[in-house]
């Protein structure tokens, strides 16, 4: 037994499982490609090919992906680098992202926040950051495109603090930018890495006089040298000092500068990241924290994806391994149903190319064939029967009324809706006294199109969507029963969700504020499990 524990321990230490969060076009695909390159990888999944797909439409696992030229699903990649086993969880980059994107973050142990130096902190980054920050996971910042003119680096740090309310600690500092960009100064190792277009960067260690050395001025030019010395002085005096504990709890983000396209600064970033980022750790469950080593195999499903390959017409459930060793062919407890399931064909999930895997360890993501058994949030355990904490549900921001256009296909319509709700890409609501009316809520607008497309192509059902003006959904915590009509106004609508919980949809933040003022006895929560989620956040933050 001890041998297996040692094996798991050593595998866990090697593992880093993270997601890259960014706004579209910040360079996530480019950065991912460079990271994979260092690993000599490559197990490369759909998203990395996504950029090419934008132009050449090579991906065939979802027709709509071709039509829109974007990637609508998220996946993961694995590579080995200097003894580490790295899992990158990918998040769809288009602005019309889905609840899946958020949920993928729940399976990550840390996040890399990628920022375009010219654009600063953008809308989608803010949303994704919030989810990471609520979980208290460490966030590493890479400020990209230094080879172009962008915002002043100090201004960017200020933006992190003002927009995201996170303190930052620059691990390196850019020397010039755009055409003037000539490298980065590594604050910890006291060396300069010189940027050479289309060439290997050159590393120069500082001698006795340090940064003030006139030889450095010669190397990078007097003006840039003067600015660099001033800025580093300022950071040393007024900046936040490096603090590993604060980084670990997500209060402080280490910041790196670079240019992903030329690979510059990427390896330095990766090396530091691997040193600082946490290995997989215990997850919380209904019986307390689940030890990664002492507990037998366990994991939870965070994503279900249908039709990854239309010719197979299959669903894949993505499982994050949380404890123990996973072995192919294992029989496990499916805790929700109480059934035993044999996991015969686990896959390392790659978009078109799939590999059967023999074993996996905490931090790894495996793909399981699903014939309708799994639901998002399900726990699988080899020996035990505990359940991991419920995954948070994210409030939809776009709503539409759905009409089934072909009465003959009503059954298919119902089945399709039920399955897509199970996959967690859409949420459904009904108006209290008009239960035949179905309202769809999504996190990203594109999901409407995906929904209609999939109902047609997979279930043969034709639908019409009528957009509704609401932008906010709030679950009502009921202490006493109330008349739903009290919450339906000209700019709000009272509905029930798929679990018959009461929800109010509002057009504006001001509508919500008014309802809150008029109904002081009600609690307006941004998800049905907000209270649970608070527990989840606090237990995982440590």
Binding site for ligand G4P (CB under 6 A): 22, 24-30, 51, 93, 144-145, 147-148, 259-261
Characterize the bridge pairing of strands 110-116 and 15-22.
parallel
Which run of H or of E encompasses 270?
helix 266-276
Token pair for 127: 């949303």
Q: How far apart are CA 182 and CA 224, in angstroms?
A: 9
Rounded Cα distance, 190 and 10, in Å: 32
Q: Which is nearer to ligand G4P, 257 or 448 (CB)?
A: 257
* Least spacing, CB of residue 400 vs ligand G4P, in Å: 27
* Beta carbon nearer to ligand G4P, 181 or 524: 181
Residue closer to ligand G4P by CB (options 57, 537) is 57
- Smallest distance from ligand G4P to CB 132, Å: 17
Q: Quote the least distance from Cβ 129 to ligand G4P, whole Å.
A: 15
Phi/psi at 298 (nearest 5 deg)? -155, 160
Q: How far is the CB of 147 from ligand G4P (least distance, A)?
A: 5
Whole-number Å distance between alpha carbons of 295 and 309: 35
Cβ proximity to ligand G4P, 266 vs 455, nearer residue: 266
Residue 254: which residues within 8 A CB-CB, separation 6 or more?
140, 141, 168, 169, 170, 171, 242, 247, 272, 276
Specify the residue, 69 or 484, whose C-beta has the smaller distance to ligand G4P: 69
- Which of 29, 133 has the CB closer to ligand G4P? 29
> CB 358 → ligand G4P: shortest distance, Å?
32
- Between CA 458 and CA 454 the distance in angstroms is 5
Indicate the burial class of 40 (C-beta count within 10 angstroms; 0-12, 13-18, 19 or more). Answer: exposed
DSSP state of 186: E
Nearest approach, Cβ of residue 88 and ligand G4P (Å): 13
Q: Judged by CB, which is closer to ligand G4P: 143, or 450?
A: 143
CB of 130 to ligand G4P, least distance (A): 19
Residues in CB range of 258: below 8 A, 6 or more apart: 142, 143, 144, 146, 184, 264, 265, 266, 268, 269
Q: Are 443 and 396 in contact (CB under 8 A)?
A: yes
In angstroms, what is the minimal distance from the CB of 51 to ligand G4P?
5
As measured in angstroms, the least distance from the Cβ of 23 to ligand G4P is 7
- Do the strands 427-431 and 139-144 form a parallel or antiparallel pair, or are they unpaired? unpaired
The CB density around residue 468, as the number of other CB atoms within 10 Å, is: 16
In the complex with ligand G4P, the residue whose CB is nearer, 22 or 59, is: 22
Q: Which is nearer to ligand G4P, 70 or 525 (CB)?
A: 70
CB of residue 56 to ligand G4P, shortest distance in Å: 11
Sign of CA dihedral 176, 181, 187, 192: negative
Nearest to 116 by CA among 321, 284, 260, 309: 260
DSSP track, 302-356 = EEEEE-SSTTTT-EEEEEEEEES-EETT-EEEETTTTEEEE--S-EE--SS--EE
Q: Which is nearer to ligand G4P, 178 or 210 (CB)?
A: 178
């Amino acid at each position: 037994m001890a041998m297996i524990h040692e094996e798991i321990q050593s595998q866990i230490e090697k593992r880093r499982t993270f997601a890259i969060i960014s706004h579209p076009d910040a360079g996530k695909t480019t950065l991912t490609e460079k990271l994979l390159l260092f690993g000599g990888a490559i197990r490369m999944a759909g998203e990395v090919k996504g950029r090419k797909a934008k132009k050449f439409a090579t991906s065939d696992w979802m027709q709509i992906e071709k039509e829109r030229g974007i990637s609508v699903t998220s996946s993961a990649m694995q590579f080995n680098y200097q003894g580490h086993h790295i899992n990158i969880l990918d998040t769809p980059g288009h602005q019309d992202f889905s609840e899946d994107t958020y949920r993928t973050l729940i399976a990550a142990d840390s996040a890399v926040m990628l920022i375009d130096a010219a654009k600063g902190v953008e809308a989608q980054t803010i949303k994704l950051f919030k989810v990471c920050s609520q979980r208290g996971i460490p966030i590493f910042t890479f400020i990209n495109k230094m080879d172009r003119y962008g915002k002043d680096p100090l201004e960017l740090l200020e933006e992190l603090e003002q927009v995201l309310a996170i303190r930052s600690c620059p691990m390196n500092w850019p020397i010039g930018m755009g055409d003037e960009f000539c490298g980065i100064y590594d604050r910890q190792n006291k060396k300069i890495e010189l940027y050479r277009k289309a060439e290997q960067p050159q590393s120069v260690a500082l001698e006795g006089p340090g940064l003030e050395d006139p030889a450095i001025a010669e190397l990078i030019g007097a003006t840039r040298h003067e600015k660099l010395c001033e800025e580093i002085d300022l950071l040393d005096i007024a900046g936040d000092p490096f603090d590993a504990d604060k980084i670990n709890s997500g209060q402080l983000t280490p910041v790196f500068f670079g240019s992903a396209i030329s690979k510059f600064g990427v390896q330095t970033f990766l090396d530091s990241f691997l040193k600082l980022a946490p290995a997989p750790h215990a997850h919380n469950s209904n019986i307390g924290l689940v030890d990664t080593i002492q507990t037998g195999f366990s994991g939870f499903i965070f994503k279900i994806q249908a039709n990854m390959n239309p010719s197979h017409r299959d669903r894949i459930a993505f499982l994050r391994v949380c404890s123990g060793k996973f072995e192919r062919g294992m029989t496990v407890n499916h805790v929700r149903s109480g059934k035993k399931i044999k996991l015969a064909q686990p896959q390392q999930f790659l978009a078109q190319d799939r590999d059967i895997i023999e074993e996996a360890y905490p931090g790894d993501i495996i793909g399981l064939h699903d014939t309708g058994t799994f639901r998002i949030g399900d726990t699988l355990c080899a020996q035990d029967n505990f359940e991991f904490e419920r995954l948070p549900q994210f409030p939809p921001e776009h709503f539409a009324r759905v009409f089934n256009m072909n009465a003959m296909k009503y059954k298919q319509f119902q089945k399709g809706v039920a399955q897509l709700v199970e996959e967690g890409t859409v949420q459904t609501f009904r108006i209290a006294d008009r239960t035949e009316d179905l309202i769809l809520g999504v996190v990203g607008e594109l999901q409407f199109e995906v929904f209609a497309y999939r109902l047609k192509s997979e279930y043969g059902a034709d639908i019409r969507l009528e957009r509704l003006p609401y932008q906010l959904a709030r679950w009502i915590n009921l202490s006493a029963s109330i008349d739903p009509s009290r919450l339906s106004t000209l700019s709000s609508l009272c509905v029930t969700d798929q679990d018959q919980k009461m929800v109010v949809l509002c057009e504006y933040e001001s509508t919500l504020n008014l309802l809150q003022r008029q109904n002081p006895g009600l609690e307006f929560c941004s998800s049905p499990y907000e209270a649970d989620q608070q527990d989840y956040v606090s237990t995982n933050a440590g």
